[in-house]
Structure 1
């Protein structure tokens, strides 16, 4: 059963080489750039594809007649492919959860602090020869609203509490075991000084933070998104940010990589990172090890 890691970048390559052992199933590695149109040729003869964060359009995968499994490196496969459509083609999509709770939560806190203290804006100004100290938000005593109490959300809540913030949370189903006061979403949005999105993306959560929800946020509040861009109505968010009523720190975007001329890249009150919240050597090692184990399980399964 031929397996191809289609988009092994320069950061993952040495980690994959270290993690992939002689007793593991053989996995070919592609490090060369490609477009969606190249997928049928690239995946010819492959039953299994390991995908970091490359888009897999349904019409192209339909032409990959040997493909039966996609192992997506993370939880957000639905942002890069139509899972139901692929399954209708006989392609099973496997995702990996819980490998980077600490990494993503720490990045969330890093974005929160950077946005609250205008770190990126002052960095850009100094590099341009402008010395302009900016007054920021002190986080101690402020309200942190955590939207989603999975593994990442709980870790964000713990770290936020460690900064002296008062943490409240909303989850689609009550999570009394999380040890965090839970409130309804509208209350969270209207009272939080910082709103952290830590939800998975599905039909129920797609676009759930729209114009009406954004309008409920306090003046001067911060929106942090290290989860999925499609949780938020992008046009409504840009409108709020353009008015300067709220600020945002974003690690995920509706189309990646984000274009330099995109409105979000031109707004002063936005701190941006390149979908990197989960990228630490520790998290990547566990992620790749678990991906290889999924390939092992697939390889050992009886042929259908």
Structure 2
């Protein structure tokens, strides 16, 4: 029996970051692996030569309809960057019964934990207290706790309730909060099933002690967290941005730093320019490192191997995220390529 063939083209990731040595051994046991140890995409000639024989693609290889037509044995395309990219014709894949999958779920828990950590830092002034002590201006006991608040039994707002929002909801259970959710893509009943209450954005922003921005960037929501939205938040409220910079009007965010306690892990331009005013702001800053921890990449390798084994046996995948054509048409975020400062909500 002919062994299945897998095209391994993970750029911008490296194969060694996705599969540890034991996982790589298991990958080679599943199939013949076609790849090259290069820092970049596989050469087009290698891809073209492999198309007639491959059963799966691991990576962000360009796969327009004409290439897909030349891959009669292709069963799965697995994006290992995180977001579905437009360089794969998902409709053509669907027409041929080819699974288009993403590893995005592996980042939900790591990012949720980081978001919770940032919120706790702001609530208790952890980083601010450390800096004060190093600079010799600390205050002791209750005198150092002015403005400190509890997350326990707080009203917490989640803007966006996908993989990340649901992971964070689970982490928050021990705090016994009242959780409000704004997600126009979900019915109120689905949100209620998770023990949360659906509400409009204005109500959520005005009522919450802590707001987590967890929404993906779509064609309809650039900069929707703008001056007007931020003004609805109460003085001293906590705001944590953990998803995509494109959903926030960053100049408006900068203007509210100080009145609001703000943390962000993502930025309109990455790396952030040395002279960017955000570096001098009162915000708590993290350099887009919430998701990329070793445990997430180990989990990525496990999920890919599990679903590949199922697919090669003719079974459906169960551990990765399946592409949805309608959702893909609406999404616009791409890791590391968010572009310039987003336009205000409603702009063309």
**TM-score if structure 1 supplies the norm length?**
0.73
Residue matched to 2:292: 279
> 1:166-211: per-residue Cα shift (whole Å, max 9, x none)?
2221221222322212211110001111111222222133322122
Distance 1:138 1:199 in 2: 24
SS at match of 1:187: helix
Alignment CA distance shift 1:211-1:298 (3 Å):
farther
SS at match of 1:26: strand
Alignment CA distance shift 1:127-1:234 (3 Å):
same
The structure whose Rg is larger is 2
Residue of structure 1 aligned with 2:230, choices 214, 217, 232: 214
Residue matched to 1:191: 207
Residue matched to 1:177: 193
Task: Please list every run of 5 or more consecutive structure 2 residues that lacks an aligned counterpart in the other structure.
Answer: 1-5, 48-56, 72-76, 94-99, 315-348
Distance 1:119 1:94 in 2: 39
Residue matched to 1:95: 102
User: How many residue pairs were aligned?
Assistant: 273
1:50 paired to 2:50? no
> 1:8-48: per-residue Cα shift (whole Å, max 9, x none)?
479x638533322232452647686xxxxxx57x6454545
Residue matched to 2:118: 111
Residues 122 and 238 in structure 2, CA contact (< 8 A), matched pair in contact too:
yes
Residue of structure 2 aligned with 1:146, choices 154, 158, 181: 158
Alignment CA distance shift 1:101-1:49 (3 Å):
closer
Alpha-carbon shift at residue 249 of structure 1 (Å): 1.2
Alignment CA distance shift 1:291-1:229 (3 Å):
farther
Alignment CA distance shift 1:204-1:74 (3 Å):
same
Alpha-carbon shift at residue 109 of structure 1 (Å): 1.0
Distance 2:17 2:238 in 1: 36
Distance 1:27 1:291 in 2: 16
SS at match of 1:255: coil
Alpha-carbon shift at residue 147 of structure 1 (Å): 1.3
Alignment CA distance shift 1:257-1:297 (3 Å):
farther
1:6 paired to 2:22? no
Alignment CA distance shift 1:49-1:264 (3 Å):
farther
Which deviates more from structure 2 when the two are superposed, residues 20-29 or residues 98-107?
20-29
Distance 1:276 1:126 in 2: 26
The root-mean-square deviation of aligned C-alpha atoms, in Å, is 3.7
Alignment CA distance shift 1:281-1:217 (3 Å):
same
Distance 2:254 2:293 in 1: 30
1:288 paired to 2:301? yes
